[in-house]
Structure 1
């Protein structure tokens, strides 16, 4: 893993730990043209697992884990991300499979990024 990918993953992990109280246990990121595609494993806290044991709770945890993070990135990109990538973050697309505890995030930047 390159230093740039490692630093990018650290930014993601720290932000999610600060917001949800737990960051992903493992992150795999690839850079493709103007996108960073990250697969995040081991995201869900024990409390979220308990809440997600009902259909209504599952919807609630899913909404918190997707809309909340997208709203946060829309307001302001994580500290250091645009500097590291050398370009502006335009969009974040994110989804999570609560049952399997993995998420995908696609970060779309203004310019091509390179590893």
Structure 2
């Protein structure tokens, strides 16, 4: 992998962290991004706040946190376009797939763009 791609993946990770911190209140502590074709895959640890961890101790709370961190995050990206991500990779953002393992505080987001981003 070229050094340029690695640097852009790191910049992408920083932008994702910043976006989530700004719009959700807490960004992930660790994030690793890799580009594959039209996808940017972000693997994250440490996204949940202490309050979310507390709420997740019950089954109902767990479901609520999972829903907020998957469905609501996808809706956020639909409403507030990640134009800084688009500018960085030179492609239009189309959609986001997201999931989180609440127990382990691990999340994955797959950003789909309109053209390949792994050939920067």
TM-score interval w.r.t. the shorter chain? over 0.9
Please report how far the alpha carbon of residue 18 of structure 1 lies from its aligned counterpart in structure 2 after TM superposition: 1.6
User: After the TM superposition, which residues 34-53 of structure 1 pair with which residues of structure 2 at under 5 Å, given as runs?
Assistant: 34-53=38-57
- Which consecutive unaligned segments of at least 5 residues does structure 1 have? none
- Structure 2 match to 1:102: 106
CA distance in 1, matches of 2:79, 2:88: 19
CA distance in 2, matches of 1:34, 1:19: 25
CA distance in 2, matches of 1:11, 1:77: 13
CA distance in 1, matches of 2:111, 2:71: 15
What TM-score does the superposition give when structure 2 sets the normalisation length?
Answer: 0.90
Give RMSD over aligned pairs: 1.2
User: Deviation string for 1:72-114 (max 9, x for gaps)?
Assistant: 1112322411010101011100000000000010111000012
